[in-house]
Amino acid sequence: MDSLRQLESLKLLLAQESAHHIEFLLPSNLRRLTLVDFSWSILSTIGKLSSLEVLKLIRQADGDGIKEWDMEEGLFPNLKVLKLKSLNIVSWKGSGDNFPCLEKLVLEDCVELEELPSCLWETSTLQLIKVHGCIYSIGDLVRDIKGQQMDYGNKDLKFLISGEIEDTSSWSD
């Protein structure tokens, strides 16, 4: 795919069984990327794409037992929009130098997600955080991000939270 130098937008629907066996060589000028049924192992490669502005990650591949996304430093230098949908991760970690240009974050149906990366509290470019179908504690973290952003002078950050669900891991039989 590296020979497709004019390609700016790509949506890959990966077969569940092949998602772990694909080596990605994406064009460096790619601006928009959607991955469906992907393996987490490819994200460090994708995070280095300097032109990438929009990334949508939808459903991680079956058998991908990854529960924590611990981002390497310096990934996603120009990403403006990030959508995570129907992922099985519990913990998402990242430092202050991740997402320096992020404007919009969408978390949808990530029912196991309990932790957000610290870089979200520090990213002054954030304009919108939209959360749907996640546990209550994620909504609380987003409200905390809003408060921190206001302290930093980002008074324009909006957040939309809907469809919050109870954290079932704390239920007892």
Range of the domain at 118: 11-166
Pairwise CA distance, residues 31 & 49, whole Å:
9
Domain count, the chain: 1
Nearest to 39 by CA among 58, 19, 55, 69: 19
Structure tokens at 3: 């020979």
* 27 inside domain: yes
Residue 172 lies in a domain: no
Q: What is the DSSP letter of 146?
A: H
Does residue 60 lie within any of the structural domains?
yes
Percent of the chain surpassing pLDDT 70: 86
Which tokens go with 31?
């601006």
**Residue 4 included in any domain:** no
- CA-nearest of 85, 64, 66 to 16 is 64
Identify whether 2 is part of a domain.
no
Question: Looking at residue 52, what is its pLDDT?
Answer: 95
pTM: predicted TM-score of the whole model, two decimal places: 0.88
- CB under 8 Å to 152, separation ≥6 — which residues? 122, 124
- Pair 91, 69: CB distance under 8 Å: yes
Digit-coded pLDDT (tens) for 15-33: 655 444 455 677 888 999 9
Residue 173 lies in a domain: no
Is residue 65 one of the residues assigned to a domain?
Answer: yes
What is the pLDDT at residue 168? 59
171 lies in a domain? no
CA–CA gap between residue 11 and residue 32 (Å, rounded) = 8
**CATH code, domain carrying 58:** 3.80.10
